[in-house]
Amino acid sequence: MSTLTTPEVSEKAHIFNVGCEIGKTLDVKKFYLIFEEAKNILVPLVPWLDRPTKERWAGEVLPVEIRNKRIMSLFYHSVSEETLSIEIQRSGKWLVKIISGGKLSYHEIDSLGLVELMLEKTKNLLLRLSLNADKEAKDQFLEKLPFLETMTIYNGMLVVLSMCFNNITNTLNEREERLRIMRERANLLKDFASALDPLVISGQSRTIKTHSIWSLNSGGRGGSSRYTGDYLSESQIKNIWDVISKKPGHIWGSTYTQEVHEFSFGSMKYFLHSMSNLVQDIFKAERENKTTVESLSGYNYGRLPFSEDELENIRKLSTSIIG
């Protein structure tokens, strides 16, 4: 599928200039140049808006060569004696359906062929569109002002082109409305899923305390750094503290302190993510064979396995979430 890009101002200016040159002479045979410029503007839209011919003309017995084509609808109009339907393909070729003289035909043509076909097969339709008149009024107009026929046909071409662009705009407006409704439905499901979280339903949050030991640097360096991982019980950090507090200070004269932090979370998701991070810290330490307080001292991203006290705190917290 082709990539859509924002049109350049030069594109509109170019088709306008081409139209102005042709408009000076009202040479309808050169109108194909305008359709060619219009085609260049429309083709990038086709992959996003086309559909199968058998869907566009459902119920009709289509020629084999167009039965599996994909087309974007641009124009349809019917008067008593003629019917014209203009579609465009991804390749840029026009696919035209015409009923003229009681005969139905399909044509896969370029812009020059499109204009020649319209002038040959749907001249009455162009005249009536141009004048917005029925057959009798059209005939009366040409009887009294025959020298305006060329101008009237030229204007009919302009009406066809304008209706093509209007139909595209209407199609896009319909798509936008459908997308708006689909987006609202999708957002409803999104909000519904998040609303099933027990904490979101209750509108409350939970708090968990984490205990850790930090190293306070002195000797001119200042600052502090984490010395252990996070633990979820005071008794567990006390056991670790008993080991670390007996160690001599670092060469820079570091001392140690216990820190307690509170983390609040308003969703089950955040709670599970927090527990998952702690589990990963445990497995990381085990993979690197750091399974004692001494081996984990000063090791920022690892911790000992959960103690019974910690597991009990986790159980209580999980029960409070769903309770």
Domain membership of residue 197 (yes or no) is: no
Percent of the chain with pLDDT over 90: 53
Q: How confident is the model at residue 221 (pLDDT cuts 50, 70, 90)?
A: very low
| Residue 41 and residue 125 share a domain | yes
| Residue 63 and residue 178 share a domain | yes
Domain membership of residue 20 (yes or no) is: yes
Q: How many CA atoms lie within 13 A of 72 on its CB side?
A: 25
What is the average per-residue pLDDT within 7-25?
83
pLDDT of 227 reads 81
| Residue 146 and residue 62 share a domain | yes
| Residue 160 and residue 66 share a domain | yes
Query: Which stretch of 147-156, 185-194, 271-280 has the lowest confidence by average pLDDT?
Result: 185-194
| Residue 236 and residue 117 share a domain | no
Domain membership of residue 138 (yes or no) is: yes
Question: Is the entire prediction scored with pTM above 0.75?
Answer: no
Span 71-99, pLDDT tens digits = 999 999 999 889 999 999 999 999 999 99
Q: What is the 3-state secondary structure (H, E, C) of 265-306?
A: ECCHHHHHHHHHHHHHHHHHHHHCCCCCHHHHCCCCCCCCCC
Count of structural domains within the chain: 2
pLDDT at 298 over 70: no
Mean pLDDT of the chain: 87
Q: Which position has the higher pLDDT, 254 or 124?
A: 124
pLDDT of 263 reads 86
Compute the distance between CA of residue 49 and CA of residue 169 in angstroms, rounded to an integer.
11
What does the buried/exposed string (b/e) look like for 269-284 if buried means 16 or more CB atoms within 10 Å of the residue's CB?
ebbeebbeebeebbee
Q: Which residue segment(s) compose the domain that 22 sits in?
A: 9-183
